[in-house]
A and B are shown apart, each in its own frame.
Chain A
């Protein structure tokens, strides 16, 4: 069977599975809609969290990014996993004990302020929309390359599926579909990785394979081979870093803290039955995430080595079929500058001119074909990419719908709304959110990647300090929290907007403050937030007694929350 036929089979089977699961887990109350009734076991919740968290960016883009960045790619590996330690130790158990539905709920109650709640709602909605449009775009890429249906139809099909189970099942439906999606995506990621590891190094486990010797009889280590290939072609040495140390430090920290501050991740820990379950659930989530994240750098090295050894200095006329297929999508472009019919793919340190540009996002999807694996593996990878994108999109839509129905309507504009009315409002806003996300998927703003950095910086500089201080400091009051959030966000957003949108020509290490790139500035924004909120709260009256009691009660697993 052809790649396309296999893709239809794999994608069709996986979609049928999600729809069955969604049917079996319909939500009937707001508690089931927002937090799955608070009865999900920690392992299941961990798996759902992993699927929720690992988006099209993790599945499709990350290994590609790493394979072009070499050692510097570890900012993503460290940043997107290290945040779970912060979540498990500093946030999840206390927010579970607090036991409401959303992050703005916590901010509003802890800081006894409607203003703080509204700021949190706006941040939650902004962060989530940013993410969701990126996911829809990922869905479109997979559909257009493998199913030949056009990017817009692809987005529409993806929207339809998500709409179906997110609107019907709420968090309950989403949780169990996400478990199914995790299984699909991890299988789809590991199968080609294991295949390629066996082909190149004879090691079954890719995590070991990429530090092992290549099996071409030379006895050379794979990483050595890649380093020498890279140098020969004028690229930087793979295992050495190019970015400044301080910048790497700041980017890693911003991604870690941003991860811990993302509302769609935090809300997952409201769904488990107990405080102790919230702690272990974060651990399970990281186990499931680590399965993919430790394989990704291996995939990056395999793909890079294969790419350099098959494409560089090959005759253009003999280029393999995957090359011409991707060329048709415009994601690979070749321009024969010296008219010799040979593909010169070289780095900036080379004497000859580079003639090939490759979009980083295609590396994972093209990898099975580059390594000449059977067609069904390629179909499986396409289904995995869709699973990653859809599961994340669904989780985000739920945050948006609960922010609107619960935080804005129930807690703000229409406090008298009935349970049934709130559930209807939640479903309608989920539906609307899918449509808006679909619009951005079809007409993507040209700056999706930039905006994602923005979302992390924003979460790091706003939510994270406010929640941490809300738990660990009884003295922190609403003046401090609001002042801190405003200073943190304004500083971070200002820095990013200045370099990314107003003066992109100045966006280089010579102009950055202390060599910190806009991706890493969220860390500084977070530190500023901590400093400002602590200072302001010292100068203003302490929070009311009942808020101090609330803080005491969320620190202890047993007992009811006083508020």
Chain B
């Protein structure tokens, strides 16, 4: 692969990760916590309705996990495409 092609492949892979992770982000925040909240509230989790729990707790935990998954995926991708900036060659 020439370097331009490699860069495009790297970028496409990055966009795929973004689409998947942001899809989960939207599902949990707009879906579980807002649109389907009443349906989910019929399931109870201790004293919480599940929808209420997602809206006031669960979604935040999911957000944290999503960011760290992205960090791990991208660190791996950076190394695989040899574009990471860890070895002092960065700006």
Verify B90–A211 contact, CB threshold 8 A.
Answer: no
A293 adjacent to chain B (CB < 8 Å): yes
Which B residues are in CB contact (< 8 Å) with A274? 85-86, 90
CA distance A81 to B85 in the complex (A): 28
User: Which residues A207-262 have CB closer than 8 A to chain B?
Assistant: 207-208, 210-213, 221-224, 239, 241, 245, 248-249, 252-253, 256
A559 adjacent to chain B (CB < 8 Å): yes
Q: Which residue, of B10, B14, B48, B85, has the highest number of chain A Cβ atoms within 10 A?
A: B85
Verify A555–B11 contact, CB threshold 8 A.
Answer: yes
A-B contacts, CB under 8 A, total: 143
Which A residues are in CB contact (< 8 Å) with B18? 89-90
Which B residues are in CB contact (< 8 Å) with A466? none
Partner of A239, one of B49, B74, B84: B49
How many interface residues does A have (CB within 8 Å)?
Answer: 55
Task: Mark each residue of chain A from 424 to 450: 1 if its CB lies under 8 Å from any CB of chain B, else 0.
Answer: 000000000000000000000000000
Verify B55–A561 contact, CB threshold 8 A.
Answer: no
Verify A97–B21 contact, CB threshold 8 A.
Answer: no
Verify B89–A556 contact, CB threshold 8 A.
Answer: no
Verify A89–B70 contact, CB threshold 8 A.
Answer: yes
Which A residues are in CB contact (< 8 Å) with B37? 71, 241
Please judge, given known A-B contacts A82-B59, A276-B78, A559-B89, whether A252 and B29 are in contact too, CB under 8 Å.
yes
CA distance A88 to B71 in the complex (A): 9
Partner of A78, one of B11, B55, B67: B55
Verify B91–A559 contact, CB threshold 8 A.
Answer: yes
Verify A211–B25 contact, CB threshold 8 A.
Answer: no
Verify B67–A84 contact, CB threshold 8 A.
Answer: yes
Which A residues are in CB contact (< 8 Å) with B35? 245, 249
Verify B64–A283 contact, CB threshold 8 A.
Answer: yes
Verify A283–B52 contact, CB threshold 8 A.
Answer: no
Task: Mark each residue of chain B from 48 to 91: 1 if its CB lies under 8 Å from any CB of chain A, else 0.
Answer: 11001101110111011011101100110010001111100111
Please judge, given known A-B contacts A88-B70, A560-B91, whether A221 and B84 are in contact too, CB under 8 Å.
no
Please judge, given known A-B contacts A211-B53, A274-B85, A558-B83, whether A294 and B60 are in contact too, CB under 8 Å.
yes
Verify B63–A286 contact, CB threshold 8 A.
Answer: yes
CA distance A399 to B28 in the complex (A): 33
Partner of A276, one of B48, B52, B82, B86: B86
Verify A82–B47 contact, CB threshold 8 A.
Answer: no
Which B residues are in CB contact (< 8 Å) with A287? 64
Which A residues are in CB contact (< 8 Å) with B21? 85, 89
Please judge, given known A-B contacts A82-B25, A276-B71, A283-B71, whether A558 and B30 are in contact too, CB under 8 Å.
no
Verify B33–A88 contact, CB threshold 8 A.
Answer: no
Verify A290–B46 contact, CB threshold 8 A.
Answer: no
A279 adjacent to chain B (CB < 8 Å): yes
Verify A556–B7 contact, CB threshold 8 A.
Answer: yes
Please judge, given known A-B contacts A82-B59, A85-B22, A556-B7, whether A276 and B53 are in contact too, CB under 8 Å.
no
Please judge, given known A-B contacts A552-B7, A561-B91, whether A276 and B60 are in contact too, CB under 8 Å.
no
Which A residues are in CB contact (< 8 Å) with B83? 556-559
CA distance A207 to B61 in the complex (A): 12
Verify A212–B47 contact, CB threshold 8 A.
Answer: yes
CA distance A280 to B70 in the complex (A): 9
Which B residues are in CB contact (< 8 Å) with A555? 7, 11, 14
Partner of A224, one of B11, B47, B78: B47
Q: Which residue, of B53, B56, B83, B85, has the highest number of chain A Cβ atoms within 10 A?
A: B56
Q: Which residue, of A253, A275, A561, has the highest number of chain B Cβ atoms within 10 A?
A: A275
CB-CB nearest in chain B for A80: B60
CA distance A279 to B75 in the complex (A): 10
Verify A74–B55 contact, CB threshold 8 A.
Answer: yes
Please judge, given known A-B contacts A276-B86, A294-B57, whether A89 and B47 are in contact too, CB under 8 Å.
no
CB distance from B33 to the nearest CB of A (A): 6
Verify A97–B46 contact, CB threshold 8 A.
Answer: no
CA distance A276 to B46 in the complex (A): 39
Verify A85–B66 contact, CB threshold 8 A.
Answer: yes
B34 adjacent to chain A (CB < 8 Å): yes
CA distance A367 to B49 in the complex (A): 25
What residues make up the interface of A, taking CB atoms closer than 8 Å to B?
Answer: 66, 71, 73-74, 77-78, 81-82, 84-85, 88-90, 93, 97, 99, 207-208, 210-213, 221-224, 239, 241, 245, 248-249, 252-253, 256, 274-276, 279-280, 282-283, 286-287, 290, 293-294, 297, 552, 555-561
Complex A-B: 25 CB contacts under 8 Å: A71-B52, A73-B56, A74-B33, A78-B55, A85-B25, A85-B63, A85-B67, A88-B67, A89-B21, A99-B91, A208-B46, A245-B34, A249-B35, A252-B34, A253-B30, A274-B90, A275-B90, A276-B71, A276-B78, A279-B70, A280-B68, A283-B64, A283-B68, A287-B64, A560-B91
Given pairs A274-B90, A279-B74, A560-B91, 6 additional interface contacts (CB within 8 A): A66-B56, A78-B59, A82-B63, A88-B67, A210-B47, A557-B78
